[in-house]
Amino acid sequence: MRYRRIPDETVRRMPFYLRGVRILSGKGHSSICSKSLADYLGINDWQIRKDFSYFGDFGKPGVGYDSAKLEKRISKILNLVCDHNVVLVGAGNLGSAILTFNGFGQYGFNIIAAFDNDVKKIGKKRGAVIIEDVSKIAKLKKRKVNLGIISVPASAAQEAADALVAAGVKGLLNFAPVRINVPKKIKVITIDIAIELARLPYYMASSQSQSAWG
Ligand code: NAI
Protein backbone atom coordinates (compact mmCIF):
# COMPACT_ATOMS: atom_id res chain seq x y z
CA MET A 1 0.00 0.00 0.00
CA ARG A 2 1.24 3.48 -0.86
CA TYR A 3 2.24 5.49 2.17
CA ARG A 4 -0.24 8.26 2.88
CA ARG A 5 0.70 10.96 5.32
CA ILE A 6 -2.09 11.52 7.82
CA PRO A 7 -2.91 15.25 8.03
CA ASP A 8 -2.28 16.83 11.43
CA GLU A 9 -5.83 18.20 11.35
CA THR A 10 -7.16 14.65 11.14
CA VAL A 11 -5.04 13.58 14.12
CA ARG A 12 -6.23 16.69 15.94
CA ARG A 13 -9.87 15.71 15.42
CA MET A 14 -9.46 12.08 16.52
CA PRO A 15 -9.58 12.81 20.28
CA PHE A 16 -12.83 14.73 19.71
CA TYR A 17 -14.24 11.66 17.99
CA LEU A 18 -13.09 9.50 20.88
CA ARG A 19 -14.80 11.77 23.39
CA GLY A 20 -17.98 11.89 21.27
CA VAL A 21 -18.07 8.11 20.94
CA ARG A 22 -17.61 7.68 24.69
CA ILE A 23 -20.39 10.14 25.49
CA LEU A 24 -22.83 8.65 23.00
CA SER A 25 -21.90 5.17 24.15
CA GLY A 26 -22.51 6.26 27.75
CA LYS A 27 -25.97 7.41 26.67
CA GLY A 28 -26.75 3.90 25.53
CA HIS A 29 -25.80 3.97 21.82
CA SER A 30 -24.38 0.51 21.12
CA SER A 31 -23.90 1.45 17.49
CA ILE A 32 -22.89 4.88 16.19
CA CYS A 33 -23.12 6.13 12.61
CA SER A 34 -20.97 8.97 11.31
CA LYS A 35 -24.10 11.16 11.03
CA SER A 36 -25.03 10.83 14.72
CA LEU A 37 -21.41 11.41 15.78
CA ALA A 38 -21.21 14.42 13.44
CA ASP A 39 -24.49 15.85 14.75
CA TYR A 40 -23.29 15.43 18.28
CA LEU A 41 -19.95 17.14 17.56
CA GLY A 42 -21.41 19.82 15.29
CA ILE A 43 -19.44 18.95 12.16
CA ASN A 44 -20.07 17.32 8.77
CA ASP A 45 -20.35 13.54 8.64
CA TRP A 46 -18.21 13.40 5.47
CA GLN A 47 -15.35 14.86 7.50
CA ILE A 48 -15.54 11.99 9.96
CA ARG A 49 -15.67 9.37 7.20
CA LYS A 50 -12.75 11.04 5.43
CA ASP A 51 -10.70 11.17 8.63
CA PHE A 52 -11.47 7.53 9.42
CA SER A 53 -10.57 6.50 5.87
CA TYR A 54 -6.93 7.43 6.50
CA PHE A 55 -6.76 4.59 8.99
CA GLY A 56 -8.34 1.87 6.85
CA ASP A 57 -11.70 0.15 6.93
CA PHE A 58 -13.96 1.15 9.82
CA GLY A 59 -17.11 -0.72 8.75
CA LYS A 60 -19.90 -0.64 6.20
CA PRO A 61 -21.03 2.86 5.24
CA GLY A 62 -24.55 3.63 6.45
CA VAL A 63 -24.66 0.70 8.87
CA GLY A 64 -22.97 2.40 11.79
CA TYR A 65 -19.98 1.44 13.86
CA ASP A 66 -20.10 -0.79 16.90
CA SER A 67 -19.49 1.73 19.71
CA ALA A 68 -17.14 -0.40 21.79
CA LYS A 69 -15.08 -1.42 18.74
CA LEU A 70 -14.96 2.17 17.49
CA GLU A 71 -13.75 3.44 20.85
CA LYS A 72 -11.05 0.77 20.94
CA ARG A 73 -10.00 1.50 17.36
CA ILE A 74 -9.65 5.25 17.89
CA SER A 75 -7.83 4.70 21.19
CA LYS A 76 -5.41 2.38 19.41
CA ILE A 77 -4.80 4.89 16.61
CA LEU A 78 -4.06 7.58 19.19
CA ASN A 79 -1.80 5.21 21.14
CA LEU A 80 -4.06 5.62 24.15
CA VAL A 81 -4.55 1.92 24.85
CA CYS A 82 -1.82 1.93 27.47
CA ASP A 83 -1.33 4.37 30.33
CA HIS A 84 1.18 7.20 29.95
CA ASN A 85 3.20 8.58 32.83
CA VAL A 86 3.40 12.36 32.71
CA VAL A 87 5.74 14.79 34.47
CA LEU A 88 5.25 18.53 34.86
CA VAL A 89 7.94 21.20 35.23
CA GLY A 90 6.83 24.54 36.70
CA ALA A 91 4.25 24.20 39.47
CA GLY A 92 3.12 27.84 39.47
CA ASN A 93 -0.37 29.12 38.68
CA LEU A 94 -0.89 27.16 35.48
CA GLY A 95 1.09 24.12 36.64
CA SER A 96 -0.93 23.90 39.86
CA ALA A 97 -4.20 24.08 37.92
CA ILE A 98 -3.01 21.22 35.71
CA LEU A 99 -1.85 19.15 38.68
CA THR A 100 -5.22 19.48 40.40
CA PHE A 101 -7.33 18.85 37.28
CA ASN A 102 -8.83 15.37 37.42
CA GLY A 103 -9.76 14.88 33.78
CA PHE A 104 -6.53 13.32 32.49
CA GLY A 105 -7.17 9.82 33.82
CA GLN A 106 -9.92 9.11 31.29
CA TYR A 107 -7.24 9.14 28.57
CA GLY A 108 -4.80 7.09 30.62
CA PHE A 109 -2.55 9.98 31.65
CA ASN A 110 -1.10 9.76 35.15
CA ILE A 111 0.82 12.78 36.37
CA ILE A 112 3.39 11.03 38.51
CA ALA A 113 5.81 13.87 39.27
CA ALA A 114 6.15 17.65 39.29
CA PHE A 115 9.28 19.78 39.56
CA ASP A 116 9.99 23.39 40.39
CA ASN A 117 13.01 25.45 41.41
CA ASP A 118 11.22 27.52 44.06
CA VAL A 119 12.19 26.32 47.54
CA LYS A 120 8.84 27.55 48.85
CA LYS A 121 7.03 25.16 46.54
CA ILE A 122 9.33 22.12 46.79
CA GLY A 123 7.91 19.55 49.22
CA LYS A 124 4.34 20.89 48.91
CA LYS A 125 1.53 18.66 47.66
CA ARG A 126 -0.35 19.60 44.49
CA GLY A 127 -3.01 17.18 43.32
CA ALA A 128 -1.58 13.70 43.71
CA VAL A 129 2.11 14.63 43.74
CA ILE A 130 4.68 16.28 45.98
CA ILE A 131 6.64 18.98 44.15
CA GLU A 132 10.28 17.99 43.77
CA ASP A 133 13.45 19.99 43.24
CA VAL A 134 14.05 20.44 39.50
CA SER A 135 17.72 19.57 40.01
CA LYS A 136 16.55 15.99 40.66
CA ILE A 137 14.84 15.65 37.31
CA ALA A 138 17.46 13.22 35.96
CA LYS A 139 16.19 10.64 38.46
CA LEU A 140 13.02 10.39 36.37
CA LYS A 141 14.79 7.90 34.11
CA LYS A 142 13.93 5.14 36.58
CA ARG A 143 10.24 6.08 36.64
CA LYS A 144 9.31 5.37 33.01
CA VAL A 145 7.91 8.79 32.19
CA ASN A 146 7.18 9.39 28.52
CA LEU A 147 5.31 12.69 28.43
CA GLY A 148 6.29 16.08 29.83
CA ILE A 149 4.36 19.29 30.47
CA ILE A 150 6.29 22.57 30.49
CA SER A 151 4.69 25.38 32.50
CA VAL A 152 7.72 27.45 33.44
CA PRO A 153 8.39 31.03 32.25
CA ALA A 154 9.58 31.33 28.65
CA SER A 155 13.15 32.02 29.75
CA ALA A 156 13.33 28.60 31.48
CA ALA A 157 11.43 26.54 28.91
CA GLN A 158 14.40 25.33 26.82
CA GLU A 159 16.27 24.26 29.92
CA ALA A 160 13.20 22.37 31.17
CA ALA A 161 12.77 20.72 27.76
CA ASP A 162 16.43 19.64 27.64
CA ALA A 163 16.19 18.13 31.12
CA LEU A 164 12.98 16.28 30.26
CA VAL A 165 14.38 14.88 27.03
CA ALA A 166 17.55 13.77 28.83
CA ALA A 167 15.30 12.01 31.37
CA GLY A 168 13.66 9.97 28.60
CA VAL A 169 10.51 11.93 27.81
CA LYS A 170 9.32 11.40 24.21
CA GLY A 171 6.60 14.03 23.91
CA LEU A 172 6.24 17.54 25.30
CA LEU A 173 3.21 19.73 25.86
CA ASN A 174 4.63 23.23 26.04
CA PHE A 175 2.67 26.13 27.53
CA ALA A 176 5.55 28.61 27.49
CA PRO A 177 5.20 31.22 24.71
CA VAL A 178 8.48 30.29 23.07
CA ARG A 179 9.75 27.82 20.51
CA ILE A 180 11.75 25.02 22.02
CA ASN A 181 14.33 22.97 20.13
CA VAL A 182 14.39 19.23 20.63
CA PRO A 183 15.78 16.23 18.73
CA LYS A 184 13.66 15.21 15.72
CA LYS A 185 12.27 12.09 17.38
CA ILE A 186 10.63 14.15 20.15
CA LYS A 187 7.16 15.54 19.47
CA VAL A 188 6.33 19.00 20.84
CA ILE A 189 2.86 20.52 20.95
CA THR A 190 2.71 24.14 22.04
CA ILE A 191 -0.51 25.54 23.44
CA ASP A 192 -1.03 29.26 23.70
CA ILE A 193 -4.37 30.60 24.90
CA ALA A 194 -3.40 34.18 24.02
CA ILE A 195 -2.72 33.16 20.41
CA GLU A 196 -6.06 31.35 20.25
CA LEU A 197 -7.79 34.45 21.62
CA ALA A 198 -5.92 36.60 19.12
CA ARG A 199 -7.65 34.91 16.19
CA LEU A 200 -11.17 35.12 17.62
CA PRO A 201 -11.71 38.81 16.75
CA TYR A 202 -10.93 37.99 13.11
CA TYR A 203 -13.95 35.68 12.95
CA MET A 204 -16.09 38.16 14.87
CA ALA A 205 -15.21 40.97 12.46
CA SER A 206 -15.69 38.92 9.31
CA SER A 207 -18.75 37.03 10.65
CA GLN A 208 -17.14 33.81 9.49
CA SER A 209 -18.45 30.73 11.19
CA GLN A 210 -15.97 28.59 13.01
CA SER A 211 -16.00 24.85 13.49
CA ALA A 212 -16.04 23.18 16.88
CA TRP A 213 -12.24 22.79 16.90
CA GLY A 214 -11.13 25.85 14.99
P1 NAI B 1 4.07 31.17 37.36
O2 NAI B 1 5.15 32.18 37.56
O3 NAI B 1 2.91 31.16 38.28
O4 NAI B 1 4.72 29.70 37.38
C5 NAI B 1 5.97 29.38 36.83
C6 NAI B 1 6.60 28.35 37.73
O7 NAI B 1 7.81 27.92 37.13
C8 NAI B 1 6.95 28.90 39.11
O9 NAI B 1 6.48 28.03 40.11
C10 NAI B 1 8.48 28.98 39.11
O11 NAI B 1 9.02 28.79 40.38
C12 NAI B 1 8.80 27.84 38.16
N13 NAI B 1 10.12 27.94 37.53
C14 NAI B 1 10.75 29.05 37.05
N15 NAI B 1 11.95 28.72 36.54
C16 NAI B 1 12.07 27.37 36.68
C17 NAI B 1 13.08 26.45 36.33
N18 NAI B 1 14.21 26.83 35.71
N19 NAI B 1 12.88 25.14 36.63
C20 NAI B 1 11.74 24.75 37.27
N21 NAI B 1 10.76 25.59 37.63
C22 NAI B 1 10.91 26.89 37.32
O23 NAI B 1 3.60 31.34 35.87
P24 NAI B 1 2.25 30.79 35.17
O25 NAI B 1 1.26 31.85 35.11
O26 NAI B 1 1.88 29.51 35.80
O27 NAI B 1 2.75 30.54 33.68
C28 NAI B 1 3.67 29.51 33.41
C29 NAI B 1 4.02 29.47 31.94
O30 NAI B 1 2.85 29.17 31.19
C31 NAI B 1 4.53 30.80 31.38
O32 NAI B 1 5.47 30.51 30.38
C33 NAI B 1 3.30 31.45 30.80
O34 NAI B 1 3.61 32.37 29.78
C35 NAI B 1 2.60 30.23 30.28
N36 NAI B 1 1.16 30.34 30.18
C37 NAI B 1 0.63 29.85 29.06
C38 NAI B 1 -0.71 29.84 28.88
C39 NAI B 1 -1.20 29.23 27.62
O40 NAI B 1 -2.33 29.30 27.29
N41 NAI B 1 -0.32 28.63 26.87
C42 NAI B 1 -1.65 30.37 29.84
C43 NAI B 1 -0.99 30.83 31.03
C44 NAI B 1 0.37 30.79 31.17
Q: Whose CA is nearest to atom 1 of ligand 1?
A: 92
**In this structure, are residues 64 and 31 in contact, taking their beta carbons and an 8 Å threshold?**
yes
H-helix or E-strand spanning residue 97 = helix 93-100
**CA distance readout (Å), 116 to 44, 77, 83, 132, 152:** 44, 34, 24, 6, 8
Question: What averages of pLDDT result for each successive group of 10 residues across the chain (214 residues)?
Answer: 76 96 95 94 95 86 86 96 96 98 94 98 98 95 92 98 96 97 97 93 75 57
Looking at residue 16, its pLDDT comes to 96
Which atom of ligand 1 is least distant from the CA of 193? 40
Which residues does a 6 A CB cutoff place in the pocket of ligand 1?
89-95, 115-118, 121, 134, 151-154, 156, 159-160, 175-177, 191-193
Looking at residue 12, its pLDDT comes to 95
Question: Which of 87, 89, 93, 149 best tests ligand 1's pocket when mutated (most atoms within 8 Å of CB)?
Answer: 93
